[in-house]
Amino acid sequence: MTRADVIAVVLAVVMLPFLYVSFWGNEGVADTIRVHSVEGIITLPLTAHRRLHVQGPLGASVLEVSEGRVRFVASPCRGQQCVHSGWLSRAGDVAACLPNGVTVAVTGRQPRYDAINF
């Protein structure tokens, strides 16, 4: 075996797990947050650590992104259903403040669900 052969073999062996993860292994892995409001769509990585103030017709809804999770901290609606939804972390998880027109969805490269029924 020449040195070139060895390099090629090593490269192929190294590439196999990468290819596997790339084509089969990433399904349902949450990596992105999509916030939808009357102002438009905001996309940010789930790894961010920050608070977002999203304006809606009733005022600002406050979202917190931390440790791979996102939640509504406060919203100017009466029902507070969005706040009660708690932390979202899996691809396909969705919470909405309908009165204020703000939704947050956790998405992945391949979402676990195509739709959520509730």
Partner 1 sequence: MRRPGSWCLWFLLSVATLLTACERPAEKVHHEQIFAFGTLVEITIAGTDEATAQRGSTAVIRTLNELHRRWHAWEPSPLTTLNEQLARGAATDVEADMLPVILAAQQLSRASDGLFNPALGRLLSHWGFQLEQRPEEVPPPHPDAVRELLAQHPSMEDLHVENGQLRSANPAVQLDFGAYLKGYGVDLAIEALQQLGIAHAIVNAGGDLRAIGRRGERPWRVGIRDPRGPGVLASLQIEGDECVFTSGDYERYFDHEGVRYHHILDPRTGYPARGTTSVTVVHGSGAAADAAATALFIAGPERWRETARAMGIEHVMLVDAAGKVWATPGLAARLTFESAQPPEMEVVTLP
115 lies in the site for partner 1, by CB under 8 A: yes
Give the pairing of strands 102-108 and 69-74: unpaired
CA distances from 72 to 1, 24, 26, 48, 62 (A): 60, 32, 27, 15, 6
Under rule CB under 8 A, which residues in 53-82 are in contact with partner 1? 77-79, 81
Minimum separation from the CB atom of position 73 to partner 1 (A): 14
**φ and ψ of 62, to 5 deg:** -105, 125
90 lies in the site for partner 1, by CB under 8 A: yes
**φ and ψ of 25, to 5 deg:** -90, -10
30 lies in the site for partner 1, by CB under 8 A: no
Interacting residues with partner 1 (CB under 8 A): 1-2, 5-6, 8-9, 12-13, 15-16, 19-20, 23, 36, 38, 77-79, 81, 85-88, 90, 92-93, 95-96, 98-99, 101, 103, 105, 112-118
